[in-house]
Structures are given as C-alpha cells and as structure tokens.
C-alpha cells in the first residue's frame, strides 16, 4: 500500500511539473496596440502594460517569423494567442514565433509561468525577423518603378 501511495505521489508531482513547463497564461484586459508593416522594423505596442494584461499586434503574415519581447516588471512570461485566445506559443521573453495566421494576435504578459501578475510597467514589442529590412524594400520599390516606367515608355 505504501508503494502505491509513493507511485501516486510521484505521478501527481510529475503532472504538476509538466503543467508548469507548458504553462499558457491568458489575460482578460487589453492595454496597447501595435501594427507590423511590410518591413522588419521594431513595433512597440505599449511601454506600460501590467503583468496580467495583453496587447494586440496587427499585420502578421502567415509563414513569417517574429520575435516578441517583454521588458520591465517582475518577469516577462509571454503567451501568443489568436484574438479568440487560442494559444499559439508561450515562453519567457524573448519569444520566437512563426505565424500560422495572417492578421492579428494577442501578446499576453505575466510575471511567471504560473501566471503571476503585477502593477509594474512592461514594455511589449515585436519584430518580424524574416521580413526584408526597410532598405531592401526601398530598393525593390525603386526597381519596380523603373521597370514600370520603362514599360510605359516602350508602349508609347
């Protein structure tokens, strides 16, 4: 009987560890919004979300890779969800995520994997790590303009 209880206790302890490893914290209150453009520039949604709030990031593109960062406060455990709170990724900052959707996500911030909250300012930002840098985008637009201009001239 003692052996049975030891095994049961071990199983309960292991289940508790597993749930902390895969923690997913969902916040109820929104604070801050940011929008990604076509270039790899840093986007800040807010400089003062409390632990236990989320910010919305718009303009994600399926297949692109993003890195989300939370700084400040008593810790920065991040959870990426859809706007319906379906969990897409979670972990401590910085959090890398390859988008499976085109559109908007919520970035939830907590102080720990056990969903701790605080009343300290957390800076929430993100960057598309697989998008072209602004300089490259400018060169592509310029090249496109030259090609289109040349086509118009040839048609005249």
Q: What is the pLDDT of residue 151?
A: 52
Calculated CA dihedral for residues 27, 92, 121, 37, nearest 10 degrees: -80
79-90 average pLDDT score: 97
Q: Which of 81, 90, 82, 73 is nearest to 124 (CA)?
A: 73
Q: What is the pLDDT of residue 123?
A: 98
Using pLDDT thresholds of 50, 70 and 90, give the confidence band for residue 132: confident
Q: What is the pLDDT of residue 58?
A: 97
Q: Which of 84, 26, 36 is nearest to 57 (CA)?
A: 36
With a cut of 50, say whether residue 18 has pLDDT above it.
Answer: no
Q: Which domains does the chain have, with CATH numbers?
A: 23-131 (2.60.120.380)
pTM here? 0.73
With a cut of 50, say whether residue 14 has pLDDT above it.
Answer: no
Q: What is the pLDDT of residue 97?
A: 97
Hey, how many other C-beta atoms are within 10 angstroms of the C-beta on 53? 22
With a cut of 50, say whether residue 86 has pLDDT above it.
Answer: yes
Using pLDDT thresholds of 50, 70 and 90, give the confidence band for residue 19: very low
Q: What is the pLDDT of residue 149?
A: 56
Tokens describing residue 56: 């919305």
With a cut of 50, say whether residue 73 has pLDDT above it.
Answer: yes
107-125 average pLDDT score: 97
Query: Between 57 and 22, where is the model more confident?
Result: 57
Using pLDDT thresholds of 50, 70 and 90, give the confidence band for residue 23: confident
């Amino acid at each position: 009987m003692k052996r049975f209880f030891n095994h049961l206790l071990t199983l309960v302890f292991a289940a508790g560890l597993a749930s902390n490893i895969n923690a997913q914290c969902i916040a109820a209150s929104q604070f801050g919004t940011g929008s990604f453009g076509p270039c790899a520039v840093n986007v800040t949604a807010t400089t003062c979300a409390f632990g236990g709030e989320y910010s919305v990031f718009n303009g994600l593109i399926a297949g692109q890779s993003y890195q989300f960062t939370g700084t400040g406060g008593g810790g920065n455990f991040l959870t990426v969800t859809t706007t319906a709170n379906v969990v897409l990724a979670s972990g401590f900052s910085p959090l890398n995520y390859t988008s499976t959707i085109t559109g908007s996500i919520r970035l939830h911030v907590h102080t720990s994997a056990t969903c701790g909250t605080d009343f300290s300012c957390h800076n929430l930002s993100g960057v598309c790590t697989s998008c072209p840098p602004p300089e490259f985008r400018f060169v592509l637009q310029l090249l496109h303009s030259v090609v289109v201009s040349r086509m118009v001239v040839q048609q005249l």
